[in-house]
Amino acid sequence: MSLYKYSFWEVLKHCFSAEVWERVLPAIGETMYMVAISSVFVLIFGILLGLVLVLTSKEGLMPCKPVNTVLGAVINCFRSLPQVIIIIVMLPVARALVGKSYGSNACIISLVASCVPLFARLVESSLLELDKGKIEAAKAMGSGNLRILFTIMVPETLPSLIRAFTNAVVIVISMTALAGSFGAGGIGYIAVTYGYTRYQHDLLFATILVLIVIVQAVQIVGDTISKLILKKRHLI
């Protein structure tokens, strides 16, 4: 159903029809798959890189300028590329790693490449907000660096880290939609092939609804968990 032939309300009504959802539902599955797998990788590598950034910084627990500078520069390089370009650049890498340059798994590679650096920076800024006095108190008690990292820095900043991860997941979702136009499948693919190329605006509307609902849900879950922790600690 195109907006060129039908009125806005007719198209909007039709976007809830079974015919539309027959196409959209499997796409949601694909999108969820890509978002879930990518998010796990983003979480693991983002936290790791973020921790290394903070540890090796000048004021950090194990200052190491070469590591910090090189890592920071690499992260900035990835951060300065728009997501479309990262997807294109990662195509050959994906072919080398998963055997083909299209499909969900290939898309995950570029999602990770784009969102890990972003999340690493978010982790870094969360950890840097931690009151230095707490780290000093742990040091004064004779705690080693790694122990300070995992028993003080991460737990103390957990609510802020959860918020950062929520943001990262939202960006992963939006990028998944973008990757859809590069043969990744999922919601983005539906939006581009039907909504853009074939003027099937009912399908386009459906994808918009789905994306809004998913992002909303992710945001609410993240905010709630973060708030519950703060409440438990009586910090709000």
Partner 1 sequence: MQEKFIEVKQLYKTFWNKKQAVGVLKGIDLEVEKGEIFGIVGFSGAGKSTLVRCINRLEEPDSGTVRIGDSLISSLGKNELNEQRRKIGMIFQQFNLFDSMTVAQNIAYPLKLTKTPKEETEARVDEMLELVGLREKKNAYPGELSGGQKQRVGIARALANRPDVLLSDEATSALDPQTTLSVLDLLKEINKKLGLTIILITHELEVIKYACHRMAVMESGKLLEQGTVKDIFESPKCETARNFISVYDRFRSDHWQEETE
Q: Which region, judged by CB under 8 A, interacts with partner 1, from 1-9, 91-99, 102-110, 144-152?
A: 144-152
Q: What is the C-alpha to C-alpha distance for residues 146 and 84, in angstroms, rounded to an integer?
A: 38
Instruction: Count the site residues for partner 1 by CB under 8 A.
Output: 22
Residue 58 touches partner 1, criterion: CB under 8 A: no
Q: Is 63 in the site for partner 1 (CB under 8 A)?
A: no
* 234 counts as binding partner 1 under rule CB under 8 A: yes
List binders of partner 1 among 104-133 (CB under 8 A): 131, 133
CB 173 within 8 A of CB 185: no
Quote the CA–CA distance of 94 and 197 in Å, as a whole number: 26
The minimum distance between CB 164 and partner 1, in angstroms, equals 17
Under the criterion CB under 8 A, does residue 225 sit at the interface with partner 1? no
Q: Does 59 bind partner 1 (CB under 8 A)?
A: no
Dihedral Cα 46, 51, 54, 57, nearest 10 deg:
-100
Query: Of the candidates 40, 97, 144, 228, which one interacts with partner 1 according to CB under 8 A?
Result: 144
Interface with partner 1 includes 73 (CB under 8 A)?
A: no
Q: Is 136 in the site for partner 1 (CB under 8 A)?
A: yes
Q: Which residue, chain included where needed, has tokens 């922790």?
A: 229
Burial-class residue 152 by CB neighbours within 10 Å (0-12, 13-18, 19+): middle
Backbone phi, then psi, for 194, in 5-degree steps?
A: -90, -50
Q: How far is the CB of 69 from partner 1 (least distance, A)?
A: 20
- In whole angstroms, what is the distance from residue 121 CA to residue 128 CA? 10
Summarize as ranges the residues that interact with partner 1 (CB under 8 A).
Answer: 131, 133-134, 136-144, 147, 151-152, 155-156, 158, 232-235
